[in-house]
């Protein structure tokens, strides 16, 4: 399963308390104050790490704490600092404040990191003029992590268009395929290889009318599409799902536009699927949406037309990389 969202709570370490102590010198009633300062509380740091692909570990373990600073000691001994707590997330993870929804940071590149909750400062030790103070509390935060998956190509289309079948044909991914809508509930990723050129393809769950406003969880999936470089728009040419190919094509494009203008600017490679079925050969004669260039004709099931399509796809992708 591809996990793309997680809610966690983090608590940075508290500062250690400052120490109140006095020199003990023989014969002197009041020695000089010599309380040490408390240690700094550990920070919570989030790092984008290429070795992470999902947020799955945050599904099970949701609470993270950095250690607190130790108290200061006598003889001006500083308390030891708390240890930071480092969380590794896949590049492309957006960190939000759960309460306000505000984006705190977008960790898009590997190696980027952010102190998301600061440890408290250690308290002051006592001195001649001042008393020792307690350490400050470390910050606590509720965070939402959101991963927009990074794929070169996104396969979009209505439920049952054959997106998962296509992914399984051109990559080694083995997504679930079935003759009912919404078989795919999370995006599946696969790597396609054409000679020495390889690229990542995502099979996105089926989109329907109203997807932009969340129908069928569409807004969640449209979010993934935002980060792909180009789109494969897969159309069921057989019409066995009771959808007119040309109407579905323009409706889906409208959904993209309603979600975000930028999505409509993405290059689309148009693919007519299920060309092994006799009715598809009839329907495609009337499939003529305006302004669309080449329409690849394939059968994701039999493999017909796939190699021509893959070459075309790789060529388009090379233009935008
Ligand atoms: N005849 C024929 N059937 C196909 C072809 N491609 C897919 N199918 C069938 O269409 C149905 C849906 O295929 P999926 O690959 O699960 O479709 P999907 O677009 O991933 O569907 P969702 O995940 O529900 O959005 C399955 O019964 C497939 O066997 C094709 O080229 N020809
Ligand atoms: Mg599917």
Residue 76's pLDDT band, with cuts at 50, 70 and 90, is: very high
Residue 236 has pLDDT above 90, yes or no: yes
Decide whether 1-147 matches 153-320 in CATH topology: no
What value does the mean pLDDT take over residues 228-252? 93
- Distance in Å, CA 87 to ligand 2 centroid: 32
Residue 81 has pLDDT above 50, yes or no: yes
Confirm or reject: Cβ of 237 under 6 Å from ligand 1. no
Q: What is the pLDDT of residues 261-282, one digit of tens each?
A: 989 999 999 999 999 999 999 9
The torsion of the CA quartet 181, 203, 111, 50, rounded to 10 degrees, works out to 100
- Residue 1's pLDDT is what? 35
Domain boundaries, the chain: 1-147, 153-320
- Residue 149's pLDDT is what? 65
Q: Which is the CATH superfamily of the domain at 1-147? A: GTP1/OBG domain (2.70.210.12)
Atom 32 of ligand 1, residue of closest alpha carbon = 274
Atom 27 of ligand 1, residue of closest alpha carbon = 179
Structure tokens at 19: 């120490």
Confirm or reject: Cβ of 186 under 6 Å from ligand 1. no
What value does the mean pLDDT take over residues 105-125? 95
- Distance in Å, CA 183 to ligand 1 centroid: 9
pTM: 0.67
- Distance in Å, CA 315 to ligand 1 centroid: 25
Determine contact, residues 71/80, Cβ cutoff 8 Å.
no
Locate the ligand 1 atom nearest the alpha carbon of residue 158 and give its number.
Answer: 25
Distance from C-alpha of 230 to C-alpha of 232, rounded to nearest angstrom: 7
- Residue 188's pLDDT is what? 85
- Residue 153's pLDDT is what? 94
Assigned fold of 153-320: Rossmann fold (3.40.50)
Q: What is the pLDDT of residues 1-31, one digit of tens each?
A: 345 789 999 999 999 999 999 998 777 777 8
DSSP for 97-111, please give it.
Answer: ETTT--EEEEE-STT
């Amino acid at each position: 399963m591809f996990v793309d969202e997680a809610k966690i709570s983090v608590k940075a370490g508290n500062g250690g308390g400052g120490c109140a102590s006095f020199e003990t010198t023989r014969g002197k009633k009041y020695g000089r104050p010599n309380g040490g300062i408390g240690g700094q509380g550990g920070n919570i740091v989030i790092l984008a790490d290429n070795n992470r692909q999902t947020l799955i570990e945050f599904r099970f373990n949701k609470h993270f704490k950095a250690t607190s600073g130790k108290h200061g000691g006598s003889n001006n001994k500083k308390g030891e600092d708390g240890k930071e707590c480092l969380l590794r997330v896949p590049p492309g993870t957006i960190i939000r404040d759960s309460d306000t929804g505000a984006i705190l940071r977008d960790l898009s590149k590997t190696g980027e990191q952010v102190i998301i909750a600061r440890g408290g400062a250690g308290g002051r030790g006592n001195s001649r003029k001042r008393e020792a103070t307690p350490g400050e509390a470390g910050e606590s935060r509720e965070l939402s992590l959101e991963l927009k998956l990074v794929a070169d190509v996104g396969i979009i289309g209505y439920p049952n268009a054959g997106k998962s079948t296509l992914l399984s044909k051109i990559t080694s991914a083995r997504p679930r395929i079935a003759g009912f809508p919404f078989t795919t509930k999370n995006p599946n990723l696969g790597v396609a290889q054409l000679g020495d050129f390889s690229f990542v393809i995502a099979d996105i769950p089926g989109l329907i009318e109203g997807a932009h406003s969340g129908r069928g969880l569409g807004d969640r999936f449209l979010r993934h599409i935002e980060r792909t470089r180009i789109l494969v728009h897969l159309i069921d040419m057989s019409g066995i799902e009771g959808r007119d190919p040309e109407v579905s094509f323009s409706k889906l494009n409208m959904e993209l536009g309603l979600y975000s203008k930028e999505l409509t600017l993405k290059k689309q490679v148009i693919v007519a699927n299920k060309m092994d079925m006799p009715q598809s050969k009839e329907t495609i004669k009337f499939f003529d949406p305006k302004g669309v260039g080449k329409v690849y004709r394939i059968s994701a099931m039999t493999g017909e037309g796939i190699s021509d399509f893959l070459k075309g796809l790789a060529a388009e992708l090379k233009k935008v990389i």
